[in-house]
């Protein structure tokens, strides 16, 4: 408000003069309100993605636990296990679909870190299921086909999921090696004729030996990776490599125990994996 006065200080005309501060405050407040709304939307999207990722992780772990009940590879899953896991896979697909609007367009990379954990756990689950059915490694395109097309599956998430796969293969292999038929003898004579003691040698079945070979091959492939420092997976790579190597060495130690001293093992023997692995590095 302002009042015009004469040179003698007497009021002439009473009129309203708009304040400069009030004129400029309107647009500024509007701008900050837009910022506030955008931040609120960002936090809401972020929380939805985080919650979905946690739920996907929990369901994927349940799939893995169920798959550990399987005892053979390169065969279809038992119907009951397949049915249980299909229900969980459907729930996971629904969760991924629910966050598609939040992780597409300009936000396709914005929340990648929040969803990455769920994607990696899901890759671990489906790669383990794929291995048990086919005894082969699932490819990146096959992995992407199991998710909605809008969900970004990076090469880093795929590789990190395979690192975690080695742990599940280790648990499966140890159970297979410690099963009742782990010390089968090699029959060099046929029929009902008695066999000489020298003709009975501890050995692994083709399925058991295949797991050991596959794990060693996977270890060699993962160790050959060259990861630049700017990669998202570089921070966790050293720990992943250490855990993967330890898993493979546990299986190797169990297999060597059967092959070298298998005839001395009592019935029902289980490999002792509590002892740390000692390695000589040249």
Domains of the chain: 42-180+203-262 (1.20.58.2140)
- β-strand partners of 4: 13
**Lowest mean pLDDT, pick from 100-114, 198-212, 231-245:** 198-212
Contact 54, 99 (CB under 8 A): no
- Model confidence at 245: pLDDT above 90: yes
Phi (first) and psi of residue 229, to 5 degrees? -65, -25
- Model confidence at 145: pLDDT above 80: yes
CA-based R_g, the chain, Å: 31
**Choice between 176 and 39, residue whose per-residue pLDDT is larger:** 39
Average confidence (pLDDT) over 223-234: 86
Each residue's pLDDT tens digit, 189-223 = 344 344 454 445 566 777 778 888 999 999 999 99
Percent of the chain predicted with pLDDT > 90: 51
pLDDT at 152: 92
Separation of alpha carbons 222 and 57, rounded Å: 23
**Choice between 265 and 232, residue whose per-residue pLDDT is larger:** 232
pLDDT at 232: 80
pLDDT at 107: 87
State the pLDDT confidence band at 29, using cuts at 50, 70 and 90.
confident
CA dihedral over 193, 200, 208, 85, signed as positive or negative: positive
**Choice between 119 and 258, residue whose per-residue pLDDT is larger:** 119
16 DSSP 8-state letter: -
């Amino acid at each position: 408000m302002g009042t015009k006065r004469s040179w003698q200080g007497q009021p002439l005309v009473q009129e309203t003069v708009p304040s400069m501060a009030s004129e400029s405050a309107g647009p500024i407040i509007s701008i900050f309100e837009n910022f506030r709304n955008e931040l609120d939307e960002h936090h809401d999207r972020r929380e939805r993605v985080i919650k979905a990722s946690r739920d996907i992780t929990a369901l994927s772990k349940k799939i893995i636990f169920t798959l550990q009940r399987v005892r053979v590879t390169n065969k279809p899953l038992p119907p009951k296990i397949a049915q249980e896991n299909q229900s969980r896979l459907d729930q996971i697909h629904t969760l991924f679909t629910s966050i598609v609007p939040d992780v597409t367009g300009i936000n396709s990379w914005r929340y990648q870190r929040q969803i990455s954990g769920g994607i990696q756990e899901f890759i671990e689950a489906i790669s383990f299921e794929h291995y048990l059915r086919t005894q082969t490694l699932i490819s990146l395109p096959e992995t992407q086909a199991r998710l909605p097309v809008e969900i970004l599956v990076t090469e880093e998430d795929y590789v990190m999921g395979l690192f975690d796969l080695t742990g599940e293969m280790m648990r499966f292999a140890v159970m297979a090696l410690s099963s009742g038929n782990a010390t089968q003898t090699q029959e060099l004579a046929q029929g009902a004729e008695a066999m000489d003691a020298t003709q009975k040698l501890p050995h692994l079945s083709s399925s058991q030996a295949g797991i050991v070979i596959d794990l060693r091959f996977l270890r060699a492939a993962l160790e050959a990776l060259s990861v630049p420092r700017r990669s998202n997976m570089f921070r966790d790579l050293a720990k992943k490599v250490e855990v993967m190597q330890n898993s493979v060495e546990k299986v190797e130690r169990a297999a060597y125990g059967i092959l070298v001293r298998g005839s001395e093992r009592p019935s029902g023997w289980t490999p002792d994996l509590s002892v740390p692995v000692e390695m000589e590095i040249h």
